[in-house]
Structure 1
Amino acid sequence: MAGSTITVRTDPEVAAQIAVLAQAMDRSRNWVIEEALKQYIQTQSWQIEGIKQAQASLDRGEGIPFDAVMEEMDALIEQTARTRDA
């Protein structure tokens, strides 16, 4: 499979760490970078999808009001403090 070429400028320390990983894994530096990019893209895509779903949920009125969350948090903090002091 033919790939696209991307040029990246990076800190020499990052480049050195990539080289160390590549050698330890018996892989090329390109492979290490490609895998890192794939993982980054997958994580970012997952987070963006989660944010979109949360925003849609809020748009449908399924959110919990801030004041209700804070009241519950205060109650949990009080309960924990009482348990710890007992």
Structure 2
Amino acid sequence: MDEPAAKIQVSLRVPADLVEAYDTMAKAMERDRSWMMLRALKQYLESEEGSDTLAEAEGIAALDRGEGVDFDTVMDEADAIIAAAEARLARKAG
């Protein structure tokens, strides 16, 4: 069975009307406010905007660690693939 994820206490200032909305939803769903807010945070990370931002940050970190591939190397490989495909087509047409 998987171990539960470590939890960290965080604090932030939230507009009162937003807290009231979460309290209303939590009461309707018979959950607590923390559960509702955690669910919203997880949904944001799974959304297109959240997942794109996270992937971009992870990509930048990978580049910072030197895990990237040189652009010219990628273009040389792409050119070689295209040339091979064109040569195959020319042989077939030939």
TM-score, normalising length from structure 2? Answer: 0.48
- Answering whether residue 70 of structure 2 is matched by residue 65 of structure 1, we say yes
Classify the secondary structure of the residue corresponding to 1:82: helix
In structure 1, runs of 5+ residues without a counterpart are 5-37
Runs ≥4 in structure 1, deviation > 4 angstroms? none
- What do residues 17-55 of structure 1 show as CA deviations (whole Å, max 9, x unaligned)? xxxxxxxxxxxxxxxxxxxxx78x711101111101110
In structure 2, C-alpha distance between the alignment counterparts of 1:70 and 1:59, rounded to whole Å: 21
The structure whose Rg is larger is 2
Aligned residues: 51
| Residue identity opposite 2:21 in structure 1 | G
- Calculate the aligned-residue CA RMSD, in Å: 2.1
Higher relative contact order (CA 8 A, sep 6+): 1
Is 1:3 matched with 2:8? no
Quote the residue 2:81 is aligned against: 76
Residue among 39, 48, 58 paired with 1:43: 48
2:58 aligned residue (53, 56, 60): 53
Q: Structure 2, unaligned stretches of length 5 or more?
A: 1-19, 23-42
Amino acid at match of 1:81: E
Q: Give the TM-score, by structure 1 length.
A: 0.52
